[in-house]
Amino acid sequence: MRASNSLLALALSLGAVTLAIVTMVLLGAPVSLGSNIPQSNLMLDYAYGVMFAAVGYVFLMIFPVSFSDRIALSIVWSVKVVVVLVVMLLYEDFYWALDSYSYFELARSPSFSWDGFGMGRGTENIYHLVWLYYQVFPESFHALKVLFSFVGLIAVYLFYRSATLFVGRRNTYVFYVLALFPSILFWSSVFGKDPIVLLGIGLYAYGVVAWYQRPNPLALVFVSVGILIATFIRVWLGPILLVPLLVNLVVGVRGVATKCFTITLVGGVFAYTLGAVWERLAIERTEDLLQNLEIISRGFSEGGSAQELVADLTQPTQLVAALPLAMFTALFRPLPGEISNAFGTLAGIENLALLVMFLVAVKRFRMVELKNPVLLSAVLLILVWTLAYAFISYQNLGGAVRFRLQILPILVALLLKFGAPKSSVGQTK
């Protein structure tokens, strides 16, 4: 996009944001639609959110990236601000039992006590992050939404920078596709665990691509910090993120000494995180694994988008038979008509488009492309994640949409890569 067109798009986006927020205030929407928010002065709370959104623009203007990236980030930020301060008012009015309400309320309770962060303590860690926020900033629900949404913006930008690092050139079209893909746009903007997890995986993705492009210690720092952030929210993401690295080390690293060292290092971290998962899920014996999977999976079978899995997951044969449909669900459901409310309908349309993209990518895919360790790592990550989340996602189609955010930017980027006409792609790097 030309600089003049980009500036015009930014000006129009700023105008649209201003008009939308002013309209909401004049209509009294922050009060009329915010009855579920545990806050006494909803209009002042909303004003703080608007102020934080404005600060976001200032930060992006001094962000140490190229001018074109600053403009693209600011345009996407405009869209996210509308989602957070306009669209989510309707969402919050519709749902009265969101996790974000408890994050906001309990962290400011006089009885709340700080006891530090811990691996895999996702809910508690969000409480502690919010408590730290309260030590400096006002107790505003909307401001917290804006802050978490900004974290989500940076996370998506990291995925975009990973893609540009891989192909060796920048194309803001890819950033807009990733950032404005409906589920990524919405779930990376919520006040909760999702933007934090996405930030961790974004750092991990950037570090992995940087390492394979040119191995250096800084790339490993990105990988390590990303895995640490992700596992502090979802401890099982540690093994999921490490499996692709282990496979690539076994296949791709040359030299016996180097291979032994790197496999020992990454394998040791993998064993530690896997042990943390076992402890978190109270698995003491191998036999406990399927029993816990059955219990955890059934625990998600509640709510309006829940569905019952007709299979006993403690029986290996039934588990294997149900796995293909469960994996398909984790990646592509709900489809149109499976959830009757407005949010489910929109998710169904998006998933149908995602499925079409997948089928096109399968048709144009060439096995030789997996010789590239970055692409192989990405495919393995999606496969391992899908196996891990298959039965949880199947039991709750609404949850499936939200869980998928963790790998959705990578999935979309891969489908764009594999689905592009080969004549315009050139040789795989």
- pLDDT tens-place string over residues 65-104: 999 999 999 999 999 999 999 999 999 998 888 899 999 9
Per-residue pLDDT band for 428 (boundaries 50, 70, 90) equals very low
Exposed (0-12), middle (13-18) or buried (19+): which is 262, by Cβ within 10 Å?
middle
Q: Mean pLDDT across the stretch 335-360?
A: 90
Residues 76, 186 within the same domain: yes
> For 277, left (φ over 0), alpha (ψ -120 to 50), or beta?
alpha
* Whether residues 34 and 127 fall in one domain: yes
Buried b (16+ CB within 10 A) or exposed e, 388-411: bbbbbbbbbbbbbbbbbbbbbbbb
In this structure, is residue 324 part of a structural domain?
A: yes
Domain of residue 311, residue span = 288-429
Residue carrying the six token digits 């909401």: 24
Place 287 in a pLDDT band, splitting at 50, 70 and 90: low
In the prediction, which pLDDT does 427 show?
47
Q: Is the pLDDT of residue 53 over 90?
A: yes
CB atoms within 10 A of CB 66: 11
Whether 265 maps to a domain, the answer reads no
Percent share of the chain, pLDDT over 70: 90
Percent of the chain predicted with pLDDT > 90 = 61
Contact yes or no for 327/390 (Cβ under 8 A): yes
Per-residue pLDDT at 429: 46
Higher pLDDT, 395 or 61: 61
In a domain, 187, yes or no: yes
Report d(CA 75, CA 21) in Å as an integer. Answer: 16
Shared domain check, 199 and 299: no
> DSSP state, 65?
S
Q: Among 156, 190, 206, identify where a domain stops.
A: 206
Q: Indicate if 68 and 187 belong to the same structural domain.
A: yes
Q: Residue 250: pLDDT above 60?
A: yes
325 CB-near residues (< 8 Å, 6+ apart):
394
**Of 287 and 424, more confident:** 287
> With 60 as the cut, is the pLDDT of residue 180 above it?
yes
- Count of beta carbons in the 10 Å neighbourhood of residue 120: 20
Q: Name the band, by pLDDT with cuts 50, 70 and 90, for residue 425.
A: very low
Residue 214 lies in a domain: no
Residue 227 lies in a domain: no
Beta-ladder partners of 306: 396
Query: What does the angle CA 148 – CA 151 – CA 155 come to, to the nearest 5 degrees?
Result: 140
246/274 Cα distance (integer angstroms): 14
Interatomic CA distance for residues 209 and 187, integer angstroms: 24
Q: How confident is the model at residue 376 (pLDDT cuts 50, 70, 90)?
A: very high
273 falls within a domain: no
Produce one character per residue of 213-251: b if its CB has 16 or more CB atoms within 10 Å, e if not. Answer: eeeeeebeebbeebbebbbbbbbbbbbbbbbbbbebbee
| Minimum mean pLDDT range among 122-126, 263-267, 330-334 | 263-267
Summarize the confidence of residues 242-269 as an average pLDDT: 75
Q: What is the mean pLDDT of residues 269-287?
A: 72
Q: Are residues 292 and 423 in the same domain?
A: yes
Asked if 145 and 98 count as a contact pair (C-beta separation under 8 A), the reply is: no
Q: DSSP 3-state assignment of 306? A: strand
What is the Rg, in whole angstroms, of the alpha carbon atoms belonging to the chain? 22
Q: Give the residue, 269 or 297, on which the prediction is more confident.
A: 269
Half-sphere CA count of 373, side-chain side, radius 13 A: 19
Whether the per-residue pLDDT at 304 is higher than 70: the answer is: no
Last residue of a domain, one of 177, 206, 235: 206
Whether residue 183 is found in the same domain as residue 85? yes
Alpha carbons 334 and 345: distance in angstroms, whole number: 9
Structural domain count of the chain:
2
Q: Is residue 224 part of a domain?
A: no
Domain C-terminal end among 146, 177, 206: 206
In the structure encoding, which two tokens stand for residue 203, read together?
């750092």
Kindly state whether residue 318 falls inside one of the protein's structural domains: yes
Q: What is the pLDDT of residue 426?
A: 44
The residue ranking higher by pLDDT, 3 or 374, is 374
Do 423 and 328 lie in a common domain?
yes
Tell me: do 34 and 140 sit in the same domain. Answer: yes
For the chain, the average pLDDT equals 88
